[in-house]
Amino acid sequence: MKSKIHISVGVASILALAGCRNDMHDQPRYKPLAAADFFSDHRASRPQVDGTVARGHLRIDEARYTGKIAGEDIDQFPIPIAKADIEWGQTRFNIYCTPCHGKLGDGNGMVVLRGYRQAATYYSDKLMKAPVGHFFDVITNGFGAMPSYASRLEPDDRWRVIAYIRALQLSESAKITDVPTDKRQDLPVEPAPRGIAPAGGAPVAGTPNAPPAAAPAREGGR
Ligand code: HEC
């Protein structure tokens, strides 16, 4: 009895719905890439007007997006570089470049140690003097055995990686006198490698590499 009522309600609503107008189902529209008689080339999907640029993809700044001006590599960063940019560049460098160039940028990354073609060291005379635009070109288009990294690094991130490479290059020849006196105590104290005596005898107390004058005695430890 109960189920009979259910069925008749169902049938009634199907009949009622069938009576609805169908306009929204039959819209005058074309399916993507369908043929159309309306246009002379019979393409329903219209080609883009020449010079169309997707929103957010307008790249008229030649230096910023090619690293060149009139075909010449630029030697000034085309975007402002702050400390945060260098730090971000370091993270990208460590992800994308160290497998071949190594963390130090000397070209001896793990992939190279396992037999890949020797990657370039950033400390060669050529690359120390190379303009930043050259690095941009190498990352964008690849170089010799090195593939392009354009699909993994947005143009501005390429500049940030290059800023970090410049910092690496600077650090290679940096002297303690390059560090402002009030910042020297912030330098990390690196212990001498085990089993190797520090060159030139024991470190002088008060220099950045010397251990603290009085190491606090540890309690309860061994
Ligand atoms: C898959 C390994 C590999 C990775 C990853 C890699 N490189 Fe290279 N790179 C090379 C090799 C190999 C060379 C030397 C090319 C040659 O001699 O054929 C090179 C050369 C270079 C050069 C020197 C070009 C010149 O003018 O001599 C630069 C600069 C450079 N790479 C930057 C980078 C940067 C920046 C990254 C990260 C975005 C990177 N590379 C990632 C393998 C790599």
pLDDT digits (tens, 9 = 90+) for 117-147: 999 999 999 999 999 999 999 999 999 999 9
pLDDT confidence of residue 2: 55
**132-141 helix and 155-172 helix, angle to the nearest 10 degrees:** 130
C-beta of 123 in contact with ligand 1 (< 6 A): no
CB–CB of 129/148 below 8 Å? Answer: no
CATH of the domain at 160: 1.10.760.10
Of 125, 122, 98, the closest CA to residue 112 belongs to: 98
Give 127's contacts (C-beta < 8 A, 6+ positions apart). 120, 121, 169
pLDDT confidence of residue 182: 92
Q: Is residue 147 in some structural domain?
A: yes
Q: Please tell me which residue, 72 or 24, carries the higher pLDDT value.
A: 72
Q: Is residue 166 in some structural domain?
A: yes
Q: Is residue 138 in some structural domain?
A: yes
Q: Is residue 154 in some structural domain?
A: yes
Q: Is residue 99 in some structural domain?
A: yes
Q: Is residue 214 in some structural domain?
A: no
- Beta-bridge partner residues of 35: 43
The pLDDT of residue 195 is above 60: no
C-beta of 117 in contact with ligand 1 (< 6 A): yes
Q: Is residue 19 in some structural domain?
A: no
C-beta of 132 in contact with ligand 1 (< 6 A): no
Domain range enclosing 111: 82-177
Of 168, 181, 174, 178, the closest CA to residue 207 belongs to: 181
pTM of the model: 0.70
Q: How many helices (H) and strands (E) does the chain have?
A: 8, 2
C-beta of 146 in contact with ligand 1 (< 6 A): yes
pLDDT confidence of residue 11: 63
Ligand 1 atom 41, closest CA: 97
pLDDT confidence of residue 206: 47
pLDDT confidence of residue 222: 43
CA atoms of 190 and 70, how far apart (whole Å): 47
Q: Is residue 32 in some structural domain?
A: no
CA atoms of 214 and 222, how far apart (whole Å): 18
pLDDT digits (tens, 9 = 90+) for 85-128: 999 999 999 999 999 999 999 999 999 999 999 999 999 999 99
C-beta of 144 in contact with ligand 1 (< 6 A): yes
pLDDT confidence of residue 88: 98
Count how many domains the chain has. Answer: 1
| Structure tokens belonging to residue 197 | 């005596």
The pLDDT of residue 221 is above 50: no
Q: What's the 152 CA to ligand 1 centre distance in angstroms?
A: 15
| Local confidence band at 23 (pLDDT 50, 70, 90 cut-offs) | confident
- Beta-bridge partner residues of 73: 68
User: Among 128, 137, 143, which is best to mutate for testing ligand 1, by the most ligand atoms less than 8 A from CB?
Assistant: 143
